[in-house]
Structure 1
Amino acid sequence: MNNTLLAYAFNADKNLVHIDTVKNGLECNCTCPGCNESLIAKNDGKIREHHFAHLSGNDCGTGYETIRHIWGKEILLENRLLPVAIDGKKGYLKTDRIGLEVTLTDLNIIPDVFGRVVLPFNYLGLQLPRDIPFIVEIYVSHKVDDEKATIIKRNGIPAVEIDLSKSTATTKEDLIKDILNQENWNVINDKIGGRFLPRINLPYVPDRKTYGTNSGQTIRRTPYKKYYRKRR
């Protein structure tokens, strides 16, 4: 049982609200983020700390677990921050291409946080850009299961799980420190798969009779357009 007094709850619109921003008693129209039970707002006293209480009188103790999970995703989204691991190295990447619970239909998974970053890639001495996806999972009460981890690894998507299961943060600001602490990062996958290597489109030359190879890359034998020279 968690003895921490609950200071946040879901309002009627399913938005997190603080105890001091709602009406007192049942008029708050709030529910517990953990168990969805109706809550009583106790925010008119001057002695005891303001808090939400379960209508049944039995605190489920899971409210802050859900809240930390929500905050964890919001912190990354608001700061456009992606915790990443690549080839054994951990760090952060900034990106505007980041979203929460984006459905990856081709993989049949829904990551907590999904983002994409264009990174340079050295190929035959050339610095080429490649668009790499990254996944971040927030672990509070449920770790990434083996099936999801296998899909991530098989598709070569770098992924990090941030372990907040032992966090005691009761404010969003306090939770930031736990997220930035790399000791709380569990690396699911740090290898970029072949499907994300740059694909070089070699030009098709219609009047060449032989195609051959160029720097180890086979030039297309099938033209981009249905164009063939007439025999003379």
Structure 2
Amino acid sequence: MHETKIPFGERDGILFRAHEVENGLRCGCVCPGCQQPLNAANNGEKVIPHFRHAKSNDCFDGFREGVRRAAVALIAQHKQLMLPALIETVRVATQGGRLLEKKIELQPVVTTADSVERFVDLDGLRCHAVLHQSDRQLIIRIKLSARTEYERYRQLEALEHSSMEIALHNLTLEQINDPASFERAVLYDPATRRWIRSMRGEKLMAIVGEKLESLASELNAQWHFEQLKREVAEKARQLALDEEKAKLQLALDEHRAHQLQKASEQPPIDQDNTVKGRAALIAGTMLKAVQAWGAKAIECSACHLLSPPESQFCLYCDSQTSKVNQVVLSPDIIWTLGKRMRCSAKPEMSVKAAPQLIVRPDIELV
């Protein structure tokens, strides 16, 4: 909007459009903002009728003041207008991390007032119109600037009354000059209005909020119960793990003592801890597994020697990384043990992981 083109001129306290009065200074109108004389431009074929200041000045209030007063006059004349739509979502989070949501939606509806006050001061705040209906009040702000007035909104939200804004700053001079278009924009167009504060909406949100809070309380109680069950189960599981760990440690301690006892009973012979020597030991335990243990055994992940299948730990080394795995050997493996060891990495890995064996295997070397 070009604010030097003023859509309304004032004469004897009444607002007129330019096409409603004589051309030029004969219009007898003054600016609604600064009260200085206006020229009516209403004879042009290409220019929309409008007013201009008769003398150049710095007034930019004529446009806004005229449109605002004309809008308020329409509201006071009809005593009704379309209320904005309201769409809000109430959200309540549960302690279990669930988000409860409920949408509140009020459709645009026409309301009729018992009376309308124009340009009222409430707590130092200028309200362009106040609609009275029974014991309720609705405050109207006419917006004629794209600028967001945060402080005014904050002040309006602090009042215990519903308030709404009618935004007319996007209207063209053609729309303002057309009485029907202007009336629709002021009174009925859903696109030009929004709530600043809706008391009805807040009451609905409070009711919905209470219901969601009640549901959240039930879910929280259930969650606490389930959480307690989980904690009890976790404690029981941890106790079982601790008991199992203690049993395993006791068994390992007994196993180590048995290893040392068995090692003390073996004749003192220097161990061949070379890769070749370790390969012979691994092959010997594999041969014994086939011949004496039904081709079943457990293999140490550290030294790779085989122990009887019922063993819980490796009989030969005390490596901290030792774990045992069940293995089943092919009976005909005895014919290829030598070749297998020559092309296997296990003997070298065995020497690195368990350089010294606690107990020497009681086997025939291959």
1:189 counterpart = 2:197: yes
Q: Name the SS for the 1:170 alignment partner.
A: helix
Q: Name the SS for the 1:161 alignment partner.
A: strand
Q: Name the SS for the 1:165 alignment partner.
A: coil
Letter paired with 1:56: K
The CA deviation at 1:161 is 0.2
- Pick from 136, 145, 170: which aligns with 2:176? 170
Letter paired with 1:160: M
Question: How high is the TM-score relative to the length of structure 1?
Answer: 0.60
* Count of aligned pairs between the two proteins: 178
Instruction: Show the counterpart of 1:213.
Output: none
Structure 1 pair 16–82 and aligned structure 2 pair: CA distance change class (3 A): same
Question: C-alpha offsets along residues 108-149 of structure 1, whole Å, 9 cap, x if unaligned?
Answer: 32311112223xxxxxxxxxxxx2211111111376733332
Question: How high is the TM-score relative to the length of structure 2?
Answer: 0.40
Q: Name the SS for the 2:127 alignment partner.
A: coil
Aligned-pair identity in percent equals: 21
Instruction: Show the counterpart of 1:2.
Output: 2
CA contact (8 A) 1:23 1:41 kept: yes
Q: Name the SS for the 1:67 alignment partner.
A: helix
- Pick from 127, 132, 135: which aligns with 1:116? 132
Distance (Å, rounded) in 2 between the aligned partners of 1:91 and 1:47: 40
CA contact (8 A) 2:145 2:169 kept: yes
The CA deviation at 1:96 is 1.8
CA contact (8 A) 1:84 1:158 kept: no
Instruction: Show the counterpart of 2:113.
Output: 95
CA contact (8 A) 1:39 1:52 kept: yes
Residue correspondence of structure 1 range 42-57 to structure 2 within 5 A: 51-56=50-55
Letter paired with 1:93: T
Structure 2: gaps of 5 or more residues:
87-103, 204-366
Residue correspondence of structure 1 range 34-113 to structure 2 within 5 A: 34=33, 36-41=35-40, 51-56=50-55, 63-84=62-83, 88-89=105-106, 90-104=108-122, 107-113=123-129
Letter paired with 2:129: V
Distance (Å, rounded) in 2 between the aligned partners of 1:163 and 1:23: 31
Instruction: Show the counterpart of 1:150.
Output: 154
Q: RMSD across aligned C-alpha pairs, in angstroms?
A: 3.6
Structure 1 pair 37–153 and aligned structure 2 pair: CA distance change class (3 A): same
Q: Name the SS for the 1:183 alignment partner.
A: helix
Q: Which has the higher helix share?
A: 2
- Pick from 160, 164, 186: which aligns with 2:164? 160
The CA deviation at 1:159 is 0.9
Distance (Å, rounded) in 2 between the aligned partners of 1:42 and 1:108: 38
Letter paired with 2:176: T
Q: Name the SS for the 2:55 alignment partner.
A: coil
Letter paired with 2:69: I
Q: Name the SS for the 2:199 alignment partner.
A: coil
Q: Name the SS for the 1:103 alignment partner.
A: strand
